[in-house]
Amino acid sequence: MDKLKIAIQKSGRLYEDSIKLLKDCSIEINIGIDKLKTTALNFPLEILFLRDDDIPQYLEDGVADIGIVGKNVLLEKRKRIKIKETLGFGKCRLSIAVPKSLSYNNIKDLDGKRIATSYPFLVREFFKKRYINAEIHEISGAVEIAPGIGLADCICDLVSSGSTLFMNGLKEVETVLQSEAVLASHLHLDSTQNIIMEKFLFRIRAVKKAKDNKYILLNVSNEKLEKIISYLPGIKSPVILPLANTECSSVHSVVNENDFWGIIENLKALGAQDILVLPIEKIIL
Ligand code: ATP
Ligand code: MG
């Protein structure tokens, strides 16, 4: 039986979430001691564990068929590969940061500065578009210490909370890119590989959709029922069930995580009681 090869990060920030994604898609794997590759037990997938920087090249060459990698790495490497789906984890931004003591008004203040980064291509493009002349110093790690040791005046690096910048006396001044993990693929998969990838994507989308939504149950007295029904979206429309107490009904629906608290407040104002909120495992439409 043909298998699809997926490349995921061997260790690091994307590792746990990549493994969890497989698990949420009901794909079982045993991770061996050497952790170079493994085969899924119940899905035609072989998993290769690699450094994230190498994944785009392996995808271009077809050593791996699909892979999970940050958009930041993918755009920096500029390999000929296809993005199939954004995955909603590994969220961060590629940002420019300067020493706290530097007074910063706008991007022109970066003109003529030395900037240390592991993302020379993305930084060069960012400056080129804004007609800024900066001197780019490519370094492969610990970029945040560069200004402190006199290697550069400022940096461009990945940020999520900003605490690393803060600890190194830096402040974030410009965002170059918003990033998250994506599923990318080799450009020319054969038909069997395509079928397996589509099956995998189908599961990923069901899991993603479920994560974005919550199942809610509430009770409401019958005279307020109409208002609640017209307010609640639901996937098609809400479910209404009678209660043993015939003056009230139970309403079930699905609401989006993003507007969740707003919806709950409005439901309460419309007379909803005993609101229960449950996670959803998968949504298949
Ligand atoms: P490797 O050993 O595989 O080369 P690495 O050290 O280059 O790993 P990690 O620090 O593990 O990389 O980050 C992997 C990816 O996680 C990044 O490329 C980025 O897409 C994402 N990420 C999310 N949040 C952050 C963050 N705060 N800092 C760095 N990367 C982040
Ligand atoms: Mg790396």
Ion ligand 2: residues, CB within 5 A, are 52-53
| pTM for this predicted structure | 0.91
CA distance 19 to 59: 19
pLDDT of residue 1: 65
Which of 16, 52, 163 maximizes ligand 1 atoms within 8 Å of its Cβ, making it the mutation to test the pocket? 52
Closest ligand by atom to 157 CA: 1
Atom of ligand 1 nearest to the CA of 52: 3
CA distance 206 to 13: 23
Atom of ligand 1 nearest to the CA of 73: 18
Find out whether the beta carbon of 67 lies less than 6 Å from any atom of ligand 1: no
pLDDT of residue 236: 81
Q: What is the pLDDT along the chain (285 residues), one digit of tens a residue?
A: 689 999 999 999 999 999 999 999 999 998 877 789 999 999 999 999 999 999 999 999 999 999 999 999 999 999 999 999 999 999 999 999 999 999 999 999 999 999 999 999 999 999 999 999 999 999 999 999 999 999 999 999 999 999 999 999 999 999 999 999 999 999 999 999 999 999 999 999 999 999 999 999 999 999 999 999 999 877 788 999 999 999 999 999 999 988 889 999 999 999 999 999 999 999 998
Answer yes or no: are the C-beta atoms of 10 and 51 closer than 8 Å: yes
Find out whether the beta carbon of 17 lies less than 6 Å from any atom of ligand 1: no
Element (H, E) at 266: helix 260-269
Interval between CA 11 and ligand 2 midpoint (Å): 10
